[in-house]
């Protein structure tokens, strides 16, 4: 039996169908009992980002001031006039709108937000190329997208000798050839509970503004009453999500000197506390992240890795149940499910949006009873 196991391991190691040429990696059987263990697998749980996808984010589309922009626009989707909320404009047209369109100020604030509200560090190579080092690929994609659109977070002449442009309290952004310095007064960092990040920024004009980006669910509930672009932005978010794109909402508000002074005292106290510091900082952020003005939304593409759909289909054919875990919008997750062959058109899609453990349990048990009843009666499951 041990000889058989050894031969099976050798065959796995030598199987060209299991060889991945891009990384020059062959399959490796690390256990002599691998075959028996594989035969016992019933469930496969997989993360989506970086496991099923390439984890290479590309800034593809954006909704700004109720208008949708994209790097490539199909002819049948192109906007027909200067205020077409259902059509799409190209990023080149965005540059033109920044000069003459009534929404130019909103576009400017949108791009400043992408250039300043982040934790990215730029590195300048010997050939002058700027590479953005980001803890999150999404942040890197947004900063790079803003750079392509003329708002370049970069190494300025005064800081090039240190190799960085992010000093402890400032950021340099080149806006269409002009270097402008923005003071970063405070940063309310992202975490899985808050689902958003904010930066309090003093611009070159001396005004203090709060820039905030995050999941649509948390941004939309913190908006002020007078927000003219909500309906159009929601429509665009639905469109982006059905295309499988990762979305974020971006918003801002101007803060008076007096309000900032009062809030800064609360923030400073929270940042120096020794007990429950993270909780106190979240409470401080909650105070300032209110009455926001919605600028729009971003849409980032993260393509599936080669072979993912066929691999998932093969696992399913072998009787293995595949679960994919993701923090994306529901529409995005469903679209990726179809793209990855986790779902197909012949399946009955059951969506569970319950808010508690017991409600979820009751919902699933009811669906199970309904489906079991239909199968017992010989009815088609729809």
For the chain, the structural domain boundaries read 1-40, 58-301, 348-382
Question: Which CATH superfamily does the domain covering 58-301 fall into?
Answer: Calcium-transporting ATPase, cytoplasmic domain N (3.40.1110.10)
Determine whether the annotation assigns residue 49 to a binding site: yes
What is the longest distance spanned by two Cα atoms in the chain? Answer: 80
Arithmetic mean of pLDDT, 30-54: 84
**Considering only CA atoms, which of 252, 237, 345 is closest in space to residue 294?**
252
Determine whether the annotation assigns residue 254 to a binding site: no
Confidence (pTM): 0.84
pLDDT digits (tens, 9 = 90+) for 44-60: 999 998 889 988 899 99
User: Which is more confident, 154 or 302?
Assistant: 302
Per-residue pLDDT for 165 more than 70? Answer: no
Task: For residue 38, list its beta bridge partners.
Answer: none
pLDDT at 157: 46
What is the Cα gyration radius of the chain? 25
Band of pLDDT at residue 168, cut at 50, 70 and 90: low
pLDDT at 164: 40
Band of pLDDT at residue 159, cut at 50, 70 and 90: very low
pLDDT at 101: 92
Quote the CA–CA distance of 287 and 269 in Å, as a whole number: 14
How far CA 148 is from CA of 114, 117, 123, 216, 263, in Å, comes to 12, 17, 17, 24, 35
CA 350 distance to own-chain centroid: 25
pLDDT digits (tens, 9 = 90+) for 90-139: 999 999 999 989 999 999 999 999 999 998 888 777 776 777 888 788 99
pLDDT at 189: 92
pLDDT at 381: 58
Class of residue 316 by CB neighbours under 10 A (exposed 0-12, middle 13-18, buried 19+)? middle
Contact 107, 98 (CB under 8 A): yes
CB contact set of 319 (below 8 Å; sequence gap of 6+): 42
Per-residue pLDDT for 351 more than 60? Answer: yes
Arithmetic mean of pLDDT, 266-277: 93
pLDDT at 155: 56
Band of pLDDT at residue 380, cut at 50, 70 and 90: low
Residues marked active site are found at 47
Determine whether the annotation assigns residue 48 to a binding site: yes
Arithmetic mean of pLDDT, 188-195: 91
Determine whether the annotation assigns residue 307 to a binding site: no
Q: Which of 26-40, 169-183, 315-329 is predicted least confidently?
A: 26-40
pLDDT at 31: 76
Arithmetic mean of pLDDT, 257-285: 95
Determine whether the annotation assigns residue 139 to a binding site: yes
Torsion, Cα 187 290 220 326, to 10 degrees, reads 40
Determine whether the annotation assigns residue 22 to a binding site: no
Arithmetic mean of pLDDT, 241-257: 95
Q: Average per-residue pLDDT in the chain?
A: 89
pLDDT at 162: 40
pLDDT at 382: 57
Q: What percent of the chain has pLDDT over 90?
A: 59
pLDDT at 372: 87
């Amino acid at each position: 039996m041990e000889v058989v196991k050894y031969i099976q391991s050798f065959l796995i190691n030598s199987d060209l169908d299991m060889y991945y040429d891009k990384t020059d990696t062959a399959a490796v059987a690390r256990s002599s009992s691998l075959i028996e263990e594989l035969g016992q697998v019933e469930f496969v749980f997989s993360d989506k980002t970086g496991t099923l996808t390439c984890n290479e984010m590309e800034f593809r589309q954006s909704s700004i001031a109720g208008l949708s922009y994209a790097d490539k626009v199909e002819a049948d989707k192109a906007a027909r006039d200067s205020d077409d909320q259902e059509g799409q404009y190209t990023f080149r047209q965005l540059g033109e709108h920044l000069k003459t369109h009534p929404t130019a100020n909103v576009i400017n604030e949108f791009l400043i937000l992408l250039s300043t509200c982040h934790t990215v560090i730029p590195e300048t190579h010997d050939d002058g190329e700027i590479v953005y080092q980001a803890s999150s690929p999404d942040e890197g994609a947004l900063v790079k997208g803003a750079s392509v659109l003329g708002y370049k977070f970069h190494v300025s002449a005064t800081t090039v000798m240190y190799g960085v442009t992010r000093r402890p309290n400032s950021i340099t952004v080149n806006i269409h050839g002009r270097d402008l310095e923005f003071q970063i007064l405070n940063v309310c960092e992202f975490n899985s509970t808050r689902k958003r990040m904010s930066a309090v920024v003093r611009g070159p004009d001396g005004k203090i503004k709060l820039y905030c980006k995050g999941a649509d669910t948390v941004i939309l509930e913190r908006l002020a009453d007078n927000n003219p672009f909500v309906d159009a932005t929601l429509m665009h978010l639905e469109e982006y999500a059905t295309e499988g794109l990762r979305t974020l909402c971006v918003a801002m508000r101007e803060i008076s000197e007096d309000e900032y002074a009062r809030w800064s005292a609360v923030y400073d106290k929270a940042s120096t506390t020794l007990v429950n510091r993270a909780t106190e900082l979240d409470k401080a952020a909650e105070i300032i992240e209110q009455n926001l003005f919605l600028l729009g939304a971003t849409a980032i593409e993260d393509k599936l890795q080669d072979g993912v759909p066929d691999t998932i289909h093969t696992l399913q054919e072998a009787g293995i149940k595949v679960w994919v875990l993701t923090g994306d919008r529901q529409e995005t997750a469903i679209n990726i499910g179809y793209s990855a062959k986790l779902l197909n058109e012949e399946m009955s899609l059951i969506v569970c949006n319950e808010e508690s453990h017991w409600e979820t349990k009751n919902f699933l048990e009811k669906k199970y009873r309904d489906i079991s009843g239909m199968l017992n009666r010989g009815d088609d499951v729809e």
